[in-house]
Structure 1
Amino acid sequence: MVKKAYSLETKLACIEMKKAGKSNKVIRETLGIKNDSQIYTWMRWYENDELHRFHQPLGKQYTYGKGMEQLSEVGQLRLQVELPKKVSQLGKTIDKVSLIKLVEEYKKTCPVSAILGCFGVKRSTFYRWKKDSKKPEKKDEMVEKIEQLCMQNQFIYGYRTITRLLKKIHSLVVNRKKVYHIMKENGWLCRTRPKKAPNLGKPYHVTDNKLDRDFQADKPMEKLVTDITYLYFGKCKLYLSSIMDLYNREIVAYTISDCQDTDFVLDTLHQLESPQGAILHSDQGSVYTSKAYYQTCVEKGITRSMSRKGTPADNACIEWFHSILKSETFYLHNWRNITKDSITDIVKNYIIFYNETRIQQRLNDQSPVKYRKLAS
């Protein structure tokens, strides 16, 4: 791959655009830069005060500025004459603050590595010292501003809101986790809404996995699977409860509602015709472990089966159906400003299409309804 040489003007323009908050894509398109790595390299030089490297020729990214031969004659003379005087004044051992000041004074004309070499200090060590020297001041300032915001607002805001206020009022962009730790250490966390553990209650009856991922059935209404999925589209929040017959993957019952409760699931269950002796498999959701659901299954002569916790693959067939329903309707057409009635109509029409028209390879390229009728 042929490397491209960039002018000094291009490099400096890139730095200015990056400091102004421009994205890498905009910078590349404006200045004709090939890739993001080039921008990262220039920014690293700038942040490490290696400004002399912007003058380096092509192909010397890792060697330029490492020694005296790369300096101008004026730079060499200054380093040879003035720096030894500083070294003799300060001695071979130097404190962090003095070394940082010395590097700041000479860095524009002398390589940082050459200055540090006079004192036997590694570049990584120096930059760690420089970074640490800035931390206490910034942290104290941040803690002070956080305390001020918390007190002004009588501790009614949580750490997320305080983080946004730091950005809005003081133009400080801080990670909200850092704000949380500062507020927690100082006892400034929100005092108006303490967290409470949800009281979900204990399940009435949990059943073993009797289906055991055996998704093949020899006759209709022998093995059934059920689940609930979300229909969050537009500004609506609806739920779909459906039951599938594993014999031909037909949807034999379904309910659409804006409330996910036990009655919602029972409405779907009551739609089943002649389910006596069938295995009905579900997950361990609270509606499926409720007393009302258990009693209804007993009354209908249904044998219950449940997936293991956190194992959706145990109920893969109904999970697959809910996935393709969304993929082939809402995600495919990208409808906007969709209403509750239109969502309901879309789901109903798709289930009719799925049962009566949509072919499946496992059914010899027939629809579920046609496969059932031909087999009977």
Structure 2
Amino acid sequence: MEKYRNQYKIKLMCEVLEISTSTYYKYRKTKDPDYDDYIMIKEIFDENKKTYGYRRIYAVLTDEYGLVINHKKVARIMKKYSVVAEYIKKQKRNYVNQYTEEEASIDLLKRNFNQRGWVTDITYLHLIKNGKKAYLSTIIDLETRDVVAYQISKSNDKKLVMDTLNKAITKTKDLNGLILHSDQGFQYLTTEFKIICASNGIVTSMSRKGTPLDNAVIESFHSILKKETLYNNTITTLDEYIQLVHEWIHFYNTKRRRLNKK
């Protein structure tokens, strides 16, 4: 029983120090030359809400503790004992790097915007005063220039695009052979997006990389939306801005006069 109690105590101690039990047993018999420095580093790290990287911890050690130590050594010890700032641990994966140009569809529109099809894109709704923003995903019908579907979210992810696409699908009877044109954003390269399109007879098309004019209709729409909402009104909160966008899109689809298509 005493053996299990000791094991439990060791486990708790390792959890407090945020090290693995294997690390503990590795250095239990042999004094680790970095251990004393690690204790100081961990103390500074914890006192500063686990947000300091090696540069700030090095500054505290030298400026406040008067310790002579190399910043590379601080970085090495932190790596060795897995002392990593919380915000780095919680960073989202870079989805952009999951996909390659080979997975993109070819451009079927070729800037001919007077044909049957949809265009789609995401733009941000940025409230400059407080730095808050949301994301607007829109699908526009090329024949009518109406907004077929749109979705606003505070996260720019594949769910935003899928929710917009599913809305558009439920509103349209004949989808067979319909072209859906987008840029090469990671959301449009996902397997889920391609499967939903294919299963509904929708043919995907994509702009060339770094060529926004290949999707000029939706680029222009988002530009007009921002000019006639954000720049023409006094907005104090992001929620006010989002509500204004809802109202403007309804106005756009029902009342706003359209210029002749070119």
Q: Is TM more than 0.5 here?
A: yes
Are the aligned partners of 2:54 and 2:71 in contact in 1 as well (CA < 8 Å)?
Answer: no
Stretches of structure 1 lacking an aligned partner (at least 5 in a row): 1-152, 162-185, 365-376
> In the aligned structure 2, how far is the partner of 1:154 from the partner of 1:288?
36
Name the CA shift for 1:292/1:157 in 2 (closer, same or farther; >3 Å).
same
Q: Which structure has the larger Rg? A: 1
Query: Which residue of structure 2 lines up, in the alignment, with residue 338 of structure 1?
Result: 237
> In the aligned structure 1, how far is the partner of 2:54 from the partner of 2:105?
47
Query: Which residue of structure 1 lines up, in the alignment, with residue 191 of structure 2?
Result: 291
CA RMSD of aligned residues (A): 3.1
* SS of residue matched to 1:361: coil
The answer to whether 1:259 aligns with 2:155 is yes
Query: Which residue of structure 2 lines up, in the alignment, with residue 347 of structure 1?
Result: 245
* SS of residue matched to 1:288: helix
Letter in 2 for 1:333: N
Letter in 2 for 1:214: N
> In the aligned structure 1, how far is the partner of 2:209 from the partner of 2:126?
24
* SS of residue matched to 2:232: helix
> In the aligned structure 2, how far is the partner of 1:282 from the partner of 1:260?
15
1:156 aligned to which of 22, 36, 55: 55
Are the aligned partners of 1:248 and 1:363 in contact in 2 as well (CA < 8 Å)?
Answer: no
Residue 187 of structure 1, CA deviation? 8.5
Query: Which residue of structure 1 lines up, in the alignment, with residue 111 of structure 2?
Result: 213
Deviations, residues 308-331 of structure 1 (Å, cap 9, x unaligned): 000011001100110110111111
Letter in 2 for 1:202: Y
> In the aligned structure 2, how far is the partner of 1:198 from the partner of 1:255?
23
Residue 235 of structure 1, CA deviation? 4.8
Deviations, residues 180-209 of structure 1 (Å, cap 9, x unaligned): xxxxxx998x9478x999563135831000
Name the CA shift for 1:154/1:332 in 2 (closer, same or farther; >3 Å).
closer
Are the aligned partners of 1:205 and 1:294 in contact in 2 as well (CA < 8 Å)?
Answer: no
The answer to whether 1:232 aligns with 2:134 is no
Alignment of 1:125-274 (within 5 A): 156-157=55-56, 191=75, 198=94, 200-203=97-100, 205-217=103-115, 222-233=116-127, 234-272=130-168, 273-274=172-173
Higher relative contact order (Cα pairs below 8 Å, separated by 6+ residues)? 2
Deviations, residues 130-154 of structure 1 (Å, cap 9, x unaligned): xxxxxxxxxxxxxxxxxxxxxxx99
Letter in 2 for 1:347: V
* SS of residue matched to 1:156: helix
* SS of residue matched to 1:239: strand
Deviations, residues 234-271 of structure 1 (Å, cap 9, x unaligned): 45321100001111211111001111111211111111
Are the aligned partners of 1:205 and 1:291 in contact in 2 as well (CA < 8 Å)?
Answer: no
The number of aligned residues is: 180
* SS of residue matched to 1:298: helix
Name the CA shift for 1:205/1:351 in 2 (closer, same or farther; >3 Å).
same
Name the CA shift for 1:317/1:156 in 2 (closer, same or farther; >3 Å).
same
> In the aligned structure 1, how far is the partner of 2:109 from the partner of 2:122?
18
The answer to whether 1:356 aligns with 2:254 is yes
* SS of residue matched to 1:225: strand
The answer to whether 1:308 aligns with 2:208 is yes
Output the TM-score relative to the length of structure 1.
0.43
Q: Which runs of 4+ in 1 moved over 6 A?
A: none
How many percent of aligned residue pairs carry the same amino acid? Answer: 39
> In the aligned structure 2, how far is the partner of 1:345 from the partner of 1:280?
27
Stretches of structure 2 lacking an aligned partner (at least 5 in a row): 1-51, 60-69, 79-83
Alignment of 1:110-129 (within 5 A): none
Deviations, residues 304-355 of structure 1 (Å, cap 9, x unaligned): 00000000110011001101101111112242x2132x22211111001111
Name the CA shift for 1:319/1:241 in 2 (closer, same or farther; >3 Å).
same
Alignment of 1:98-117 (within 5 A): none
Query: Which residue of structure 2 lines up, in the alignment, with residue 127 of structure 1?
Result: none
Are the aligned partners of 1:229 and 1:322 in contact in 2 as well (CA < 8 Å)?
Answer: yes
Are the aligned partners of 2:104 and 2:184 in contact in 1 as well (CA < 8 Å)?
Answer: yes
